[in-house]
Amino acid sequence: MRWLVGWSSAAAGSAGAGSAGATGNDGETVHPVGSQLLWGDPDPLWAVGDWRPDEVRAVKADAQTRIAVLGTCGATDEQLKVALFAARGGALRHLTAWSGSYTAVVQVGRRVTIAGDLAGVRPVFYTPWASGTAYATAALPLADLIEAHLDIGHLAALLAAPDVPEALHDSTPYQGVRRIPPGHALILRNGAREIAGYEPVASLAVAAPAADATSAVDGVRDALVEAVRTRLTAPRHVPGADIDPGPVPGMGPAERRAARGMPVPGIGADLSGGPASGTLALLAAGLPGMPGTVLGHGTGAGERLLAVTFNDLATGGREAELERAGAIAANPRLHHVVVTGGEETLPYVDLDAPLTDEPGPSLVTAARHRARLASGSADHLTGYGARQVMDAHPARLADLLMDRKRRHLVKPVAALTKADGSVMVPARVYAAARRLARTPYRAGVEGLADRLLHRRFDEPGGAVGASLAALAWGRPGPAARWLTGEALAEVSVRLQDTVIRPGTGPGQRPGDFRARAALARHAADLRILEQAAEIRFQRLHAPFLDNQVVRACRALPEALRVQPGARASILRTVLEGAGVSDLPPGWGAPSHASSAAAARIGLRVAVDDLIALFDTPLLAQAGLVEARVVRKALRAAAQGEPLPLDGLADLVSLELWLRRIVARRGTCWTGTPARQRAVPTGTVRPQRGALGAAGRP
């Protein structure tokens, strides 16, 4: 786990590496454990964790004008210096316009600017502290700094309405620690803070400007190629080259590395058989240069890109995907490795994962991903985020109606009609889309609050039912049906408090609003997955979530997005533009069934352990659920009843996270007075009043 942390205070002082930190009672300073100082007081900045040397870059114009970029960034030092001078005038957007995935921090005098990303995979958190503001790219260090208790109201909202920004607002699992929204920057001046957006938002007052589909797809191609090229041109890494204990009889260097659990040197990619991972693997293999492993490390080093495919032997049903992956891997510049997994890699079976910064549903599948990534490379490309940035959220049908583009609804509605087989589907979908287009934002949020308060969770099933349910400003989460009435009432109040604030409203069309919320949710879970399934010395790369790729995908016309198979068609065009035209049959076929089957089988295998987990759950102590209700739901789901498995994953992962945060010892900080930690009482019970009252925003 890696993060950056710093603060801005009202007190002025002389900058210097030896004076960084907040002074304690006996003259010592508070500073993060295991950190490297990037610049000192009065507004210090540290990089904490196992950052690579090439991942931390700092450029200075003078003692009080400097920029630090942490992560994978395609900008040259000269470009960073030009951006630094432009930032003097308050410009922000250019700090996020380079290829790669990174966090930029700019200091101009006493003004410090920290830019978050568009997707939310690199968030920024802040908290008031020491007559100023502390900030970080992880919430737990700030919670340790202020000895924060758990925000039970936030946890309730995370279960009841995880895709609704109004329910979560800017809160985190820790009281007093806040996050800035995606597409925004945190600006600090002498300890005072301001949150400013740097990205234009489509207006509700006028129709969206007409976009040319060809030029938009070309933009996606250019952004993806540049994102992959940025990873390929970065320095190659040989994990653990300096810690090999030496020869072992019968084991070569590769076997010793595998026994230590280290990734393969160089660059590799997932190859699941889907269009997203296949596109990245083919782009990486097709770009000029040596795409794969470092010279002198393994067969075909420096010539072939390592492509990893996971074959789940416990579920089956992925024969078509595996066949497509094998056909793609026939490319002579790819070295294909198939990783097999049995019952031990099913969801819920192995729940032994490290403490993460925040809870997330990926905790129940971390071991499954870790098994695949253990055979991956030091820098591993993944297709995460492609569906969220390219596909059309069902609510975008309402956007088309608002723009008077009814004819573009024909194909998606026809596809739903074919899947359902009912002649009433077109009328139902059109009526739901028109209702959403005419529903004000405030009325939509109030309707969701009323649904939670009165426990109305029934939704039609099937593909059509899911689309109809998504045609709303917000909907209850899959775990909401198992929450207590008190928890649901708390979330309902949070929603009602949001809509009565002056200036409330997203200022966006419902489809665009829902799509951005879904992207932020997915990016947050990917961030937790990176921490839970982390392989030492390995970096996961998700080029589809880079700022420039997200921008390019947002420029795609709505009429193109909503067409069935749009993502596969766009990626096919991207590859053809990059010179790759020989794709296997079935390219882009949907593959959700295997994931759902694996979750259900894993639940059935691990049901006894899960029921034991909820004998005396911390969720019940917090007032969020009743233990017997969850145990009953687990038994029913294991027996095959049609319950929302995503909701059970949310409950199990949150219970696991609570147990780890309560059992945690130690802190991210050192100094005087003796540092406490987040959740210092070691309990999850609300500190005072009603559920979550202490943490209500």
- For 81-137, how does the pLDDT look when each residue is reduced to its tens digit (9 = 90+)? 999 988 888 888 999 999 999 999 999 988 999 999 999 999 999 999 888 999 999
Same domain, residue pair 633 and 504: no
Which residues span the domain enclosing 38?
A: 3-148+172-199+679-695
**Cα 326 to Cα 219: distance, rounded to the nearest angstrom:** 29
Query: Is 672 contained in some domain?
Result: no
Of the ranges 236-250, 452-466, 604-618, the best mean pLDDT one = 604-618
pLDDT of residue 25: 37
Same domain, residue pair 523 and 622: no
Contact, 120 vs 519, CB < 8 A? yes
Contact, 505 vs 441, CB < 8 A? yes
Last residue in a domain, options 523, 544, 579: 579
Please list the residues that pair with 37 across neighbouring strands.
46
| Contacts with 686 (C-beta within 8 Å, 6 or more apart), sequence order | 152, 622, 623, 692, 693, 694
Same domain, residue pair 362 and 511: yes
Q: What is the mean pLDDT of residues 182-196?
A: 94
pLDDT above 90 as % of the chain:
59
pLDDT of residue 690: 45
pLDDT of residue 415: 76
User: What is the pTM for the complete model shown?
Assistant: 0.92
Instruction: Give the residue from 565, 393, 368, 409 showing the smallest Cα distance to 474.
Output: 393
Query: Is 540 contained in some domain?
Result: yes
Tokens of 510: 């419902």
Same domain, residue pair 396 and 481: yes
Same domain, residue pair 68 and 139: yes
Question: What is the rounded (10 degree) CA torsion for 310, 315, 319, 325?
Answer: -10
Contact, 203 vs 512, CB < 8 A? no
Q: What is the mean pLDDT of residues 569-581?
A: 91
Angle of CA points 409, 414, 419, to nearest 5°: 135
pLDDT of residue 696: 44
| Position 421 pLDDT exceeds 80 | no
| Position 294 pLDDT exceeds 60 | no
The domain that holds 319 is classified in CATH as 3.40.50
**Cα 560 to Cα 139: distance, rounded to the nearest angstrom:** 38
Tokens of 642: 């049609």
Same domain, residue pair 226 and 268: yes
- Of the candidate ranges 70-79, 280-289, 641-650, the one whose mean pLDDT is the lowest: 280-289
pLDDT of residue 619: 97
pLDDT of residue 255: 61
Which position has the higher pLDDT, 252 or 464? 464
Label residue 542 by pLDDT band (50, 70, 90). Answer: very high
- Of the candidate ranges 346-350, 388-392, 464-468, 500-504, the one whose mean pLDDT is the lowest: 500-504
Residue type, 204: L
298: left (phi over 0), alpha (psi -120 to 50) or beta: left
**Cα 437 to Cα 574: distance, rounded to the nearest angstrom:** 32
Query: Is 245 contained in some domain?
Result: no
Instruction: Give the residue from 115, 140, 177, 147 showing the smallest Cα distance to 48.
Output: 140
Same domain, residue pair 193 and 338: no
Same domain, residue pair 234 and 135: no
Query: Is 418 contained in some domain?
Result: yes
DSSP-derived 3-state class of residue 53: helix
pLDDT of residue 211: 75
pLDDT of residue 574: 93
pLDDT of residue 304: 80
Q: What is the mean pLDDT of residues 596-607?
A: 94
- Per-residue exposure over 41-51, b if at least 16 CB sit within 10 Å of its own CB, e if not: bbbbbbbbeeb
Same domain, residue pair 32 and 110: yes
Label residue 38 by pLDDT band (50, 70, 90). Answer: very high
Q: How does pLDDT run across 451-495, given as a tens digit for each residue?
A: 999 999 887 677 778 888 889 999 999 999 999 999 999 999 999
In three state form, how does the secondary structure of 507-557 look? CCCHHHHHHHHHHHHHHHHHHHHHHHCCCCCCEEECHHHCHHHHHHHHCCC
Greatest pairwise CA separation for the chain in angstroms: 78
Query: Is 75 contained in some domain?
Result: yes
Same domain, residue pair 232 and 176: no
Instruction: Give the residue from 567, 583, 589, 591 showing the smallest Cα distance to 281.
Output: 583
Last residue in a domain, options 579, 606, 640: 579
Same domain, residue pair 502 and 469: yes
Same domain, residue pair 38 and 110: yes
| Position 687 pLDDT exceeds 70 | no
Which position has the higher pLDDT, 28 or 8? 8
Q: What is the mean pLDDT of residues 534-562?
A: 94
Residue type, 274: G
Q: What are phi and psi of 501, to 5 degrees?
A: -70, 145
| Position 301 pLDDT exceeds 50 | no
Q: What is the mean pLDDT of residues 618-626?
A: 96
pLDDT of residue 694: 41
**Cα 436 to Cα 458: distance, rounded to the nearest angstrom:** 19
How far, in Å, are 89, 171, 284 from residue 64 at the CA level? 15, 32, 40
What's the chain's average pLDDT? Answer: 87
Angle of CA points 437, 440, 442, to nearest 5°: 145
pLDDT of residue 247: 62
**Checking DSSP bridges between strand 377-381 and strand 539-541, what pairing results, if any?**
parallel
| Position 418 pLDDT exceeds 80 | no
Q: How does pLDDT run across 342-384, given as a tens digit for each residue?
A: 899 999 999 998 999 999 999 999 999 999 999 999 999 999 9
513-517 contacts at long range (C-beta below 8 A, 24 or more positions apart): 513/395, 513/441, 513/473, 514/163, 514/393, 514/395, 514/396, 514/470, 514/473, 515/388, 515/392, 515/393, 515/395, 515/396, 516/182, 517/163, 517/164, 517/165
Q: What is the mean pLDDT of residues 165-180?
A: 95
The domain that holds 107 is classified in CATH as 3.60.20.10
| Position 175 pLDDT exceeds 70 | yes
Query: Is 584 contained in some domain?
Result: no
Which helix or strand (DSSP H or E) is residue 338 part of? strand 334-341
Which position has the higher pLDDT, 21 or 432? 432
Last residue in a domain, options 525, 553, 579: 579
DSSP secondary structure letters along 406-420: GGGGHHHHHHHHHHH
pLDDT of residue 17: 39
Query: Is 165 contained in some domain?
Result: no
Instruction: Give the residue from 309, 227, 304 showing the smallest Cα distance to 266.
Output: 304
pLDDT of residue 290: 60
Q: How many domains does the chain have?
A: 3
Query: Is 644 contained in some domain?
Result: yes
